[in-house]
Structure 1
Amino acid sequence: MIEDSLEYKAQVRLLADAGRLFAQRGWVPATAGNFSARLNEEQIVITVSGRHKGHLDDSGFMVVDLEGNILSPGKTPSAETFLHIIMYRRDPSIGAVLHTHSANATVLSRLFPYGLTLNDYVVLKAFPAITSHETSLPVPVFPNTQDVPQLAAQVDDYMNRHPGVSGYLVSGHGLYTWGRSVEAAIQHVEAFEFLFECEILSRRLSP
């Protein structure tokens, strides 16, 4: 069984550690958020539905393939699984996808329903291919919907037309970002959450 493999156990440990870190920072309240990591060309490990991400253990994860088929009997994956799958299908170099649900990300997603742009921050250099703070990073915002495959198709279409996106927001919902590994994806979450906090603070302090 894939659940007995060293790769599965290593990825579960890293994702559970991410959950504890994000919970400590208030980025995954209640049962919000979902995490996944690539196991091989056809399968990913993903959080099961309805678990608090600060208290994840082995039972909080399961395996699905890139068609959305459940490979861990008796478990139910996150309702947003296809938002993860679409990224792994798009880019074989992606090793992890993380979804957080911070207050700052949620508020900005409602203030900017058509997307926002992060300009001239040094921390932008945390993202791939950005080497200078003198740049801009667009963060698209997609309307929330219960039709997750439709939303995944919208994300896929947008990214086909706008290469270079490092993350996106779902309105009233939170952040999705990714990386070559769980560690890289965590770094991107931290960078986005810092930048979102800066954006919120700048609006509070503006006359």
Structure 2
Amino acid sequence: MSDPIAIAATADGLQPTLDLDHLVQASQQLIEAGRALDAAGQVPATGGNFSCRLSDRLMAVTASGCHKGRLTSGDILVSDFAVRLLGTSRKASDEARLHGQLYEDLPQAQAILHTHSRAATVLSLCHEGDTLNLEGFELNKALEGIKSHETPVRLAVFDNTQDIDALALDVRARLKADAGLHGYLIRGHGLYTWASSMTACRRHVEALDFLMGCELELRRQR
């Protein structure tokens, strides 16, 4: 009998194409990212979720409840962007839909990392507006598309909510209004960022965490 989850994933009548070599490569990238970000204190407990684009319809995404520093290939799930899982009975994070929405709206995005660093969590609560500008830092140039320290890094800021579908729509609207965003913060929660490769996405996380830490220190001194 066919797996009903696989059937659900192809309910529109279009068979998704899954490159198994690409899946193996994506799984290894996600496992390595988990180990590195755990070592850096970016994903405490079972916090965070990661993904890689597999095709124009599919993504590899971390399973719900997994410690990111101890991921195995069995913790990497395949789903379409609506989070209809392919060939598994395991559960993806409820926030996987935020990954799918970003892949739908940002064709250049090949990897997405969601982290729970201390700097992101605290700064998201301190900042009162709906956009955080990180300006004047040399490390701004670590973000894709930024060539000068004079170019601000912009992060959208959203209130925390358990209504992930509504949040995905809010993110979609913000991206349409501001195509220059490099990520977003959820208040009291953490950071989402994306890039054209997993290597670049990990660089984004590292740079943004440093920049947010600098911004917090500056605010303490004012």
TM over 0.5, shorter chain = yes
Q: Does 1:143 align with 2:159?
A: yes
User: In the TM superposition, what whole-angstrom CA distance separates every residue of 1:29-65 from its partner, at most 9, and x where no partner exists?
Assistant: 0000000001111100000000000000011110110
Q: Is the 8 A contact 2:183 2:193 kept in 1?
A: yes
Q: Does 1:76 align with 2:91?
A: yes
Could you tell me how far apart the structure 2 residues matched to 1:44 and 1:129 are?
A: 24
* Residue in structure 2 matched with residue 19 of structure 1 by the alignment: 34
Q: If you compute each CA radius of gyration, which structure gives the higher value, 1 or 2?
A: 2
User: In the TM superposition, what whole-angstrom CA distance separates every residue of 1:79-120 from its partner, at most 9, and x where no partner exists?
Assistant: 101110111001222101100000110000000142321011
Give the superposition deviation at 1:129: 2.0
Could you tell me how far apart the structure 2 residues matched to 1:152 and 1:4 are?
A: 27
* Residue in structure 2 matched with residue 61 of structure 1 by the alignment: 76
TM-score w.r.t. structure 2 length? Answer: 0.89
* Residue in structure 1 matched with residue 208 of structure 2 by the alignment: 192
**Structure 2 residue identity aligned to 1:35:** F
Q: Is the 8 A contact 2:18 2:55 kept in 1?
A: no
Could you tell me how far apart the structure 1 residues matched to 2:165 and 2:217 are?
A: 35
Q: Does 1:182 align with 2:163?
A: no
* Residue in structure 2 matched with residue 41 of structure 1 by the alignment: 56
Question: Which structure 1 residue ranges, 5 or more long, are not aligned?
Answer: none
Q: Is the 8 A contact 1:113 1:143 kept in 2?
A: no
Could you tell me how far apart the structure 2 residues matched to 1:66 and 1:14 are?
A: 19
Give the superposition deviation at 1:137: 2.0
Q: Does 1:85 align with 2:100?
A: yes
Could you tell me how far apart the structure 1 residues matched to 2:144 and 2:66 are?
A: 31
Cα RMSD after superposing both structures: 1.6
TM-score w.r.t. structure 1 length? Answer: 0.95
Q: Does 1:168 align with 2:166?
A: no
Task: Tell me the secondary structure at the aligned position of residue 140 of structure 1.
Answer: strand
**Structure 2 residue identity aligned to 1:152:** A
Question: Which structure 2 residue ranges, 5 or more long, are not aligned?
Answer: 1-5, 7-16
**Cα distance 1:178–1:70, how it changes in 2: closer, same or farther (>3 A)?**
same
Could you tell me how far apart the structure 1 residues matched to 2:87 and 2:195 are?
A: 25
Q: Is the 8 A contact 1:66 1:89 kept in 2?
A: yes
Q: Is the 8 A contact 2:81 2:99 kept in 1?
A: no
Could you tell me how far apart the structure 1 residues matched to 2:155 and 2:107 are?
A: 22
Could you tell me how far apart the structure 2 residues matched to 1:4 and 1:156 are?
A: 28
Could you tell me how far apart the structure 2 residues matched to 1:17 and 1:189 are?
A: 14
**Structure 1 residue identity aligned to 2:117:** S
Aligned length: 206
Q: Identity of aligned pairs, percent? A: 41
Q: Is the 8 A contact 2:19 2:54 kept in 1?
A: no
**Aligned pair partner of 1:31 in 16, 25, 46:** 46
Could you tell me how far apart the structure 1 residues matched to 2:41 and 2:145 are?
A: 29
Give the superposition deviation at 1:159: 0.9
